[in-house]
Structure 1
């Protein structure tokens, strides 16, 4: 599985804020981001759920000010999973999965 160094390759694009904007236009989809945060050369699991234009992390505090980055720490997203709302991690709600950070920046891939 290829890792996507979001904080490096996405320097000019705020990945999470861009995904939030797309999510706000497609209210029946939930995007789950999986990866890790680098702290003192250690990896900590990171999980972010994006729904209706808002992000929530199940593993770390996040910034709620839309003028700031959601995660201020160095992070790497390794996987993206798209579900139908309401959120249930079942086969019938699961739509698709991808490891490339640019894939879900295309709104057509949310359908």
Structure 2
């Protein structure tokens, strides 16, 4: 239990990033009028930050980069980092840490105002289809 005042997150919320994305992609297929935007960080260590004995803790702490991923009609796309061309490959590496999510009105149009419908909030909140307005 994480706190006596807050419920434990659903098991899916503590699953690896790849499994979380698969669940969110499945929900988004049922909601073609919504875009889910995820924000978080990626661990991107430069080669000189690694030592024979492992990571340099100071370098590791400063090596987190912000990342953003959007999910629309069941597909994930990173807006901040390159992804594999193969859709069977994960959109984010295992080092990704998803921090927040928000629901936007789809489709997104360049130059147009975004229609924020829900969030930002914890990613686990949007693992329930009923949380998608």
1:37 aligns with 2:58: no
Which of 89, 113, 123 is residue 101 of structure 1 equivalent to? 123
Q: Which has the higher strand share?
A: 1
Which of 18, 23, 27 is residue 23 of structure 2 equivalent to? 18
Are the aligned partners of 1:79 and 1:100 in contact in 2 as well (CA < 8 Å)? yes
Partners of 2:113 and 2:21 in 1: CA distance:
21
TM-score relative to the length of structure 2: 0.67
Flag the structure with larger Rg.
2
Q: CA deviation at 1:80?
A: 0.4
Q: Could you give the per-residue CA deviations for residues 29-62 of structure 1, whole angstroms, max 9, x where no partner exists?
A: 0010011101221111100011111111111122
Which of 86, 89, 95 is residue 74 of structure 1 equivalent to? 95
Number of aligned positions between the proteins: 102
Are the aligned partners of 1:64 and 1:70 in contact in 2 as well (CA < 8 Å)? no
Q: CA deviation at 1:16?
A: 1.0
Are the aligned partners of 1:17 and 1:70 in contact in 2 as well (CA < 8 Å)? no
Q: Which has the higher helix share?
A: 2
1:84 aligns with 2:105: yes
Query: For residues 18 and 65 of structure 1, do their structure 2 counterparts lie closer, same or farther at Cα, with a shift above 3 Å needed?
Result: farther
Gaps of at least 5 residues in structure 2 are 1-12, 46-59
Which of 1, 19, 28 is residue 33 of structure 2 equivalent to? 28
Q: Which moved more, 1:14-23 or 1:58-67?
A: 58-67
Gaps of at least 5 residues in structure 1 are 1-7
Q: Which moved more, 1:12-21 or 1:33-42?
A: 12-21
What SS does the aligned partner of 1:14 have? helix
